[in-house]
Structure 1
Amino acid sequence: MSRLRLPPLSALRAFEVAARRASFKAAAEELLVTPTAISHQIKHLEAYLGFRVLDRTPRAVTLTAKGRALYEVTASGFGEIEGVVTRLRADTAPTTITLSSTTAFLSHWLVPRMDELRQIVPMVDLRLHTSNVVEDLRPGGIETAIRYGHGPFPGVASVCLCPDVLTPVCSPRLGISRLDDLRQATLIHIDGRSRPTPNPNWSRWCAQAGIADVDTDAGLRFPDSMLAMQAAIAGQGVVIVSRVLAVDALAANLLETPFSQTLTGDAYHFACAFGLEQRADIAALRDWFQRSFNLT
């Protein structure tokens, strides 16, 4: 047994709004059409039904008796549909996750990969928090972080993403290729670096590389890796930085590694507040970081 055809949905919607607002003009404003379009939809509905649903006067729009019966079911039906759609959209909307890390890591590694992150992990709306100190992680606050150190870290759940090495880098424009060139080069120092320990400074690197007669205290000084790398890209000198932070600049030939000698660093870790490690959105974010670091 076939079901009776319903009136056109667009006509029913126009009728419901016009009846609720008691005005073709107000209905037109809500539906972003013209009052004439609302009038045509009501006429179409009445022709389909074979009876009037609205009485129109210059001052008001009122329901007929049959129109009132129809309005009760359309208003209820559209209300239920709106409620279900709102709930379903909320179920599939991206969840907001706040991730904290250093300015250098966020600017040099993560920000260039944000488009890829949004495409692969669309259920996550990632908010970035920059801090050069270790932030407490908690549900509803800063929930995740990229931390640099030995790990594991107290009070959080963490996984190691990759070990790190620190290497001298400089602009190819400087033409540095031999250890002897370092004696005439400007050394760039990072004074605000607290990890790894011992400090990966020029004194340690030169001792390991077996090069003497270099004034390892002279040169330019910056408070963090981000500024120091920008100075190196600009051709202002040679700096020892994390290879992870420099990977994109190296690939783009903005920087090069003129020497093979490196210093051992710590490791990068994905950390989250305890109890959140199994949450689907945070697990997806963690998996993306693991895959991306494997390609670094």
Structure 2
Amino acid sequence: MNKSHPSSQSGVSMFANLPLNALRAFESAARLLSFKAAAEELAVTPTAISHQVRALETWLGVQLFERLPRQVRLTDGGQRLFHSLHGALLDVAQSVDTLRPQRSGTHLTLSTTAAFAALWLVPRLGRFYARHPDIKVRLDTHCEVIDLHQDASVDLVVRYSLDDYPNLYGLCLFDERFGVYGSPGQVALAAEQTPTLISVRWHNSKLYAHGCDAWCAQAGENWLTRQPCIREYDEEHYALQAAIAGQGLVLASNILVSESVASGLLVGYRPQVQVDGAGYSALCVPGRERHPPVRAFFKWLEEEVRLSGSQHLPVARTVS
């Protein structure tokens, strides 16, 4: 007796009735939260997208979108369908891509802050390329927070935040602590006189100021009340370069100074005094972690955190 082919009668009937065009229209509209944007992406009219989505809702017997003035919003049912469908379509796209001749390599787009990219990621990225020479990493270091559910051009993000992300697949990389650092000469000088302080003009300036106040309170230092000379920079990597150059002391993340401390360019001033910061997490849309380049990058990130000797090892956190 011949074994049945995977496209047996039951298999054919299972897929034959799937409204594939409507599902593709829904995925695009759900990701972009716009029928107009989905129409532009799929090169059809907004009316066609609306008809496809309405037909899918009728076929399912479930409303997928709330139609609001000038916008649409996913219902709970729409969210569930989008999460599973988006991951499934990514798998199909990857499978199809592996069959294409003369493939030029795989691209991975990562969004993160300029400071994390410059001070932690890029110095280590060569080890990723050595292991995965076929994967080209593109770094997006714009300040805007990207909505991964709407921007499919970004594969994953590394975010610094106190928040949780229940609608994303994530890997907790590490929690950070803040300390004061400077060049060896500046740290020695700070024991004798009030140092010049290097400050970072964060987008949330109150958060950075709170960290300075907390460090001074814990250390018993009254620098801030003595009106010291303060030099301010827009980005943390500029501030650290200023500290390395001997311009003063800087309150900085133990994660971002790790390379400079390891090389002896920076040392801690009263290193036993540390204050809590937030945490770094690598995040992607659920399902995208199965995409081979993303999976490879997640695995590499976890190994790098372990190599860095962090006391907070990564823990994979999936959505419920």
Category of TM-score, reference length = shorter chain: 0.5 to 0.7
Which one of the candidate residues 212, 224, 236 is aligned to 1:202?
Answer: 212
Deviations 1:239-261 (A, max 9, x none): 01111111111111111112120
Q: TM-score, normalised by structure 2?
A: 0.59
| Contact 1:106/1:130 (<8 A) preserved | yes
The one-letter code of the counterpart of 1:221 is E
Q: CA RMSD in A?
A: 2.6
**Paired residue for 1:166?**
178
C-alpha distance in structure 2 between counterparts of 1:97 and 1:265, whole Å:
29
Secondary structure of the corresponding residue to residue 179 of structure 2: strand
**Paired residue for 1:239?**
250
Secondary structure of the corresponding residue to residue 227 of structure 1: helix
Deviations 1:119-174 (A, max 9, x none): 12334211011123322225641121111113422543211011111111101122
The one-letter code of the counterpart of 1:202 is C
- 1:127-206 superposed matches below 5 A: 127-138=138-149, 140-153=152-165, 155-176=167-188, 180-181=191-192, 183-194=193-204, 197=207, 199-206=209-216
Of 195-204 and 100-109, more deviation after overlay is shown by: 195-204
Which one of the candidate residues 106, 109, 116 is aligned to 2:117?
Answer: 106
Which one of the candidate residues 241, 244, 251 is aligned to 2:262?
Answer: 251
Q: Given the alignment of the two structures, is residue 222 of structure 1 paired with residue 233 of structure 2, yes or no?
A: yes
Q: Shift of the alpha carbon at 1:193?
A: 4.8
Relative to 1, partners in 2 of residues 1:249 and 1:198: Cα closer, same or farther, differing over 3 Å?
A: closer
| Contact 1:121/1:288 (<8 A) preserved | no
C-alpha distance in structure 1 between counterparts of 2:255 and 2:223, whole Å:
30
The one-letter code of the counterpart of 2:280 is Y
Relative to 1, partners in 2 of residues 1:166 and 1:286: Cα closer, same or farther, differing over 3 Å?
A: same
C-alpha distance in structure 1 between counterparts of 2:105 and 2:183, whole Å:
40
The percent identity for this pair of structures is 29
Q: Shift of the alpha carbon at 1:206?
A: 0.8
C-alpha distance in structure 2 between counterparts of 1:268 and 1:194, whole Å:
17
| Contact 1:148/1:195 (<8 A) preserved | no
Q: TM-score, normalised by structure 1?
A: 0.63
Q: Shift of the alpha carbon at 1:293?
A: 1.3
Which one of the candidate residues 266, 269, 277 is aligned to 1:265?
Answer: 277
Relative to 1, partners in 2 of residues 1:195 and 1:287: Cα closer, same or farther, differing over 3 Å?
A: farther
**Paired residue for 1:278?**
290
C-alpha distance in structure 2 between counterparts of 1:223 and 1:126, whole Å:
26
Q: Shift of the alpha carbon at 1:201?
A: 3.5
The one-letter code of the counterpart of 1:125 is K
Q: For structure 1, list consecutive stretches of 5 or more residues without a partner in the other structure.
A: 1-85
C-alpha distance in structure 2 between counterparts of 1:287 and 1:200, whole Å:
34
Deviations 1:208-251 (A, max 9, x none): 11223653653111122111111111110100111111111111
**Number of residue pairs the alignment of both structures matches:** 208
**Paired residue for 1:28?**
none
Relative to 1, partners in 2 of residues 1:216 and 1:230: Cα closer, same or farther, differing over 3 Å?
A: farther
Runs of 4+ displaced beyond 6 Å:
none
Relative to 1, partners in 2 of residues 1:89 and 1:115: Cα closer, same or farther, differing over 3 Å?
A: same
**Paired residue for 1:211?**
221
C-alpha distance in structure 2 between counterparts of 1:194 and 1:282, whole Å:
30
The one-letter code of the counterpart of 1:103 is A
C-alpha distance in structure 1 between counterparts of 2:226 and 2:125, whole Å:
37
Secondary structure of the corresponding residue to residue 289 of structure 2: coil
| Contact 2:187/2:268 (<8 A) preserved | no
Relative to 1, partners in 2 of residues 1:276 and 1:284: Cα closer, same or farther, differing over 3 Å?
A: same
Q: Given the alignment of the two structures, is residue 126 of structure 1 paired with residue 137 of structure 2, yes or no?
A: yes
